[in-house]
């Protein structure tokens, strides 16, 4: 049976064009709680009520190539009976976003992360441990004095700063489902490590978290493993770290003891004077790489740990999905006010989680894993779904529309067939002049 036919047979199990698909993901109660955080709540009947503006922010993330007022028009976002184009001014959309603010969108994102990030799916664990990753990324904002004063930017070789202000994003991701459990946003100058400290409590027990080498910190790593049950970590070796070998488990598997710096103990007096970590080395393209971990040698072999750390790149793929697939390679955010910048990015992360959750549910329905779903087609598919829902007439051609939408999911699965091996060759560039194939060889 084809994948398309299986989709058609799902029936009520996975109704893609029904609004309940989204209300199941983001319940009405969550939206009401989020809107209660708006600093400018009003009982006035407006053309763009707060709950509609919340969905507008979500739509902005899915339609990056469209102006904001066009997104509102396409999604039919306005009060009932006020959908005429001449009643929806561009300035009205901006003012509605200002009234909403960033707090409700941030709250909704965090709610989705805490509810969905730790969900279990088929094949989403490693040796009965959930796998998470922490990393950071930079987002560029428009260049005006207000944004530059708030966000700041990097220095160059001269006295000038980089051309655009930068916003820093640090995220905690479920590596197997690619869902974001939590994230922190800040101006450029704030440290990634300090931002990561703020969501360590979100990491579930019975898990292993993969870090980039920039997060090397005795305080961070010991706090992670000591604050829960069976919580482990994995991080590349930091150059210049002074250590002594305590035990050797194999040729490339050792137990090291290191001194905790006075600075770290001053920051957290509960830290010990020394700490022990396991160092596992492995070869990549002829070079020896070393990762440090809290995973015990009795249960996890060096080969297993070396293979596991390769999954840290999954969070890099998640950032690529956000910047490339959702932002359509637009390197600069579209908002021009500080609070609207935060609102836009929280909306981007919220939309990303909605797409990943939809993809995970689709994968489970077919007995596949969430990582088998291609993100870009899923993003485009859900964007179309939003437009269909906005313009849908419940009594007109519903069955045909459902069939078409369900059949489209068949293109979302990755093809894991091995690619044929071909030797690399240099292709001759095209030319409008005839080629003399009998020419003498060069000497």
DSSP string, 136-176: EEEEE----HHHHHHH---B-SSSPBPSS-EEEEEEEEETT
Helices 338-365 and 375-391: crossing angle, nearest 10°? 100
Helices 90-100 and 50-62: crossing angle, nearest 10°? 110
**pLDDT value for 397:** 36
Tell me the H-state helices in 301-432. Answer: 302-309, 313-320, 338-365, 375-391, 398-408
Question: 351: Cβ–Cβ under 8 A, 6 or more apart, which residues?
Answer: 58, 61, 62, 326
- DSSP secondary structure code for residue 425 in this structure: -
Q: Collapse the DSSP code of 105 into the 3-class scheme (helix H, G, I; strand E, B; otherwise coil) and give the result.
A: helix
Q: Collapse the DSSP code of 267 into the 3-class scheme (helix H, G, I; strand E, B; otherwise coil) and give the result.
A: helix
The answer to whether residues 254 and 248 touch, using CB atoms and an 8 Å cutoff, is yes
Q: Using CA atoms, how far apart are residues 401 and 102, in angstroms rounded to an integer?
A: 35
Helix, strand and coil content of the chain, in percent to the nearest 5, comes to: 45, 20, 40
Q: Using CA atoms, how far apart are residues 237 and 244, in angstroms rounded to an integer?
A: 14
Q: Using CA atoms, how far apart are residues 45 and 82, in angstroms rounded to an integer?
A: 11
The answer to whether residues 59 and 386 touch, using CB atoms and an 8 Å cutoff, is yes
**pLDDT value for 330:** 86
Q: Specify the pTM.
A: 0.79
Q: Are strands 180-187 and 166-174 parallel, antiparallel or unpaired?
A: antiparallel
Both tokens of 220, joined, read: 């961070």
Contacts 24+ apart (CB under 8 A), 236-240: 236/212, 236/289, 236/290, 236/291, 236/292, 236/309, 237/213, 237/279, 237/289, 237/290, 237/291, 237/292, 238/213
Sole residue written with tokens 């051609």: 397
Both tokens of 254, joined, read: 């050792």
The answer to whether residues 105 and 57 touch, using CB atoms and an 8 Å cutoff, is yes
> Whose CA is closest to 409, among 390, 391, 385?
385
The answer to whether residues 372 and 419 touch, using CB atoms and an 8 Å cutoff, is no
The answer to whether residues 208 and 308 touch, using CB atoms and an 8 Å cutoff, is yes
Q: What is the DSSP string of 181-248?
A: EEEEEEETTS-HHHHHHTTGGGSPSSEEEEE-GGG--HHHHHHHHHSSSSEEEEEEPPTT--EEEEEE
Would you give per-residue pLDDT tens digits along the chain (443 residues)?
Answer: 433 333 333 333 333 333 444 445 565 555 666 666 665 544 444 555 667 788 788 888 888 888 888 888 777 765 443 444 444 567 778 888 888 888 989 988 998 888 887 777 776 788 889 999 999 999 999 999 999 999 988 765 555 556 789 999 999 999 988 999 999 999 998 989 899 988 888 898 999 999 998 899 888 999 898 888 899 999 999 888 888 999 999 989 999 999 988 888 888 888 899 999 999 999 888 888 999 999 999 999 999 999 999 999 999 999 999 999 898 888 899 999 999 999 999 999 998 998 888 778 777 777 778 878 788 888 887 777 766 665 554 333 333 433 343 344 445 555 554 555 556 565 555 555 554 545 444 44
Q: Please give the C-alpha separations between residue 352 and each of 61, 177, 221, 367, 384, in angstroms, as whole numbers.
A: 8, 12, 28, 22, 15
Q: Using CA atoms, how far apart are residues 234 and 78, in angstroms rounded to an integer?
A: 48
> Whose CA is closest to 95, among 295, 339, 325?
339
**pLDDT value for 211:** 95
Q: Using CA atoms, how far apart are residues 60 and 166, in angstroms rounded to an integer?
A: 20
The answer to whether residues 69 and 88 touch, using CB atoms and an 8 Å cutoff, is yes
């Amino acid at each position: 049976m084809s994948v398309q036919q299986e989709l058609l047979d799902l029936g009520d199990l996975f109704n893609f064009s029904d609004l309940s698909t989204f209300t199941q993901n983001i319940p009405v109660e969550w939206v009401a709680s989020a809107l209660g955080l708006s600093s400018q709540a009003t009982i006035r009947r407006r053309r763009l009520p707060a709950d509609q503006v919340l969905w507008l922010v979500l739509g902005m993330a899915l339609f990056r190539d469209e102006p904001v007022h066009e997104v509102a028009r396409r999604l039919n976002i306005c009060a009932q009976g006020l959908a005429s184009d001449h009643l929806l001014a561009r300035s009205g959309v901006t003012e509605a976003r200002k009234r909403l603010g960033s707090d409700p969108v941030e709250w909704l994102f965090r709610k989705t992360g805490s509810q969905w990030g730790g969900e279990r799916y088929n094949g989403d664990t490693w040796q009965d441990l959930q796998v998470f990753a922490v990393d950071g990324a930079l987002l560029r904002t428009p260049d005006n004095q207000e944004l530059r004063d708030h966000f700041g930017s990097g220095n160059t070789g001269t006295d000038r700063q980089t051309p655009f202000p930068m916003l820093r994003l640090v995220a905690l991701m479920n590596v197997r489902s690619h869902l974001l459990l939590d994230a922190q946003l800040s101006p450029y100058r704030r440290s990634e490590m300090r931002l990561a400290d703020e969501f360590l409590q979100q990491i579930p027990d019975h898990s292993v978290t993969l870090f980039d080498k920039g997060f090397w910190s005795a305080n961070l790593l010991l706090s992670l493993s000591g604050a829960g049950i069976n919580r482990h970590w994995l991080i590349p070796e930091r150059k210049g770290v002074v250590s002594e070998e305590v035990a050797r488990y194999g040729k490339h598997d050792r137990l090291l003891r290191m001194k905790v710096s006075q600075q770290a103990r001053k920051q957290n007096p509960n830290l010990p004077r020394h700490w022990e970590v396991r160092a596992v080395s492995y070869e990549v393209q002829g070079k020896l790489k070393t990762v440090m971990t809290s995973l015990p040698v009795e249960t996890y072999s060096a080969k297993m740990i070396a293979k596991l750390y390769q999954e840290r790149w999954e969070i890099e793929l998640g950032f690529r999905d956000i910047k490339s697939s959702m932002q359509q390679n637009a390197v600069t955010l579209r908002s021009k006010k500080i609070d609207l910048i935060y609102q836009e990015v929280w909306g981007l992360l919220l939309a990303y989680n909605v797409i990943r959750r939809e993809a995970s549910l689709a994968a489970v329905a077919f007995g596949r894993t969430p990582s088998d779903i291609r993100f870009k087609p899923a993003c485009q598919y859900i964007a179309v779904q939003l437009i269909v829902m906005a313009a849908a007439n419940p009594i007109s051609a519903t069955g045909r529309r459902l069939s078409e939408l369900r059949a489209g999911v068949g293109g979302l699965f990755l093809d894991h067939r091995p690619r044929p091996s071909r030797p690399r060759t240099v292709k001759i560039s095209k030319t409008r002049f005839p080629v003399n194939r009998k020419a003498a060889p060069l000497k």
